Amino acid sequence: MFNKPNLFHGGESSAQRNGQRPAGTNLAAASAAQPAEAAGPSAAREPQAVGREEAPVVAGESRLIVGPEVKLKGAEILDCDTLVVEGRVEATMDSRVLRIAEKGAFKGTVGIDIAEIHGHFEGELTARKQLLIHAGGRVSGKIRYGKILIEEGGELSGDVQSLSAAGKELRAVDDKPRALAAVAG
């Protein structure tokens, strides 16, 4: 009645995934089903998944992907090196990399090294190294950045300052009371 392929393995049985023959089949029938170039000695020794490549995993790097149609609300995201947003996220985080996909949206407070925005960001964003807004990306709120690149079609609005300018502004506020004290004393 429900003739759907297995969610993760496209209808393969566990025996097929492990390179084993299903019970009741002989080796000649299994070999005849293989293409000529795959029937060599290496194909018999090393069963491999066809058409699947996995991205290399960097040791010690943690990654969270919020998929399309997924909503994550009211969270504080901790110990995540890279956050990829394809759905919607309302959260607070401090991390290394934030990537918002074209249909992704993030609302909240973020302290990040590199922010790459294809979708929408609303809130307080501090990109310590680089803020990259692609065409179609929209960023609004209180924005601080080390370096910035906005592609044609990208939008940026709100209270926007470079971190160096924000730092100078803080130093100027600290210097004023000292100058007044020196004049008065």
pLDDT in tens, 46-95: 444 333 333 344 566 899 999 999 999 988 998 899 999 999 999 999 99
pTM tops 0.85: no
pLDDT tens-digit series, residues 102-132: 999 999 999 999 999 999 999 999 999 999 9
Are residue 19 and residue 105 in the same domain, yes or no? no
Are residue 72 and residue 147 in the same domain, yes or no? yes
Are residue 76 and residue 133 in the same domain, yes or no? yes
Give the integer Cα–Cα distance in Å for 89 and 111.
15
The pLDDT value recorded for residue 75 is 81
**22 in a domain, yes or no?**
yes
Range of the structural domain that residue 28 is part of = 1-47
Distance, first Cα to last Cα, the chain: 91
pLDDT tens-digit series, residues 3-62: 444 444 444 444 444 454 445 444 444 444 444 444 444 444 444 433 333 334 456 689
